[in-house]
Amino acid sequence: QVQLAESGGGLVRAGGSLRLSCAASGRPYTRLCMAWFRQAPDKERTGVAMIYTNDGDGRAFYADSVKGRFTISRDNTNLTHNAVYLDMNSLKPEDTAMYYCAASRSPPCTLVAKYYDAWGQGTQVTVSS
């Protein structure tokens, strides 16, 4: 089992920055990829960024809406406690949502929520105009 816990959300003005953190404990090394999703009120949960957990190159993919503004990174130096981060710059009001960390044990590694089997509780990001 993998437990995920997000932190770092908050209120920020448009154009500002935030860093979200996801602490993964348990058996995070069994996960192939980790990702960040977000969900605004009355909207579907959508993928923001994904990174391969054990890939030497740290391959990552992004939703078009955040390319060039968001960066996903990982720290898996500890076998039983990993971390994934989401650096968010040039934030826009439309980035306002609950942000969730997710992990998947098997391919495909995508930005589609149904392929992820472990989820955190979420952290709220609010961007004011």
Report cis status (omega within 30 of 0) of the bond before 108.
yes
Give the closest residue to 36 by CA, choosing from 83, 84, 1, 78. Answer: 84
Whether residue 80 is predicted with pLDDT greater than 80 in this model: the reply is: no
pLDDT at 12: 98
Judged against a pLDDT cut of 90, whether residue 45 lies above it is answered with yes
Q: Which residues pair with 50 in a beta bridge?
A: 35, 61
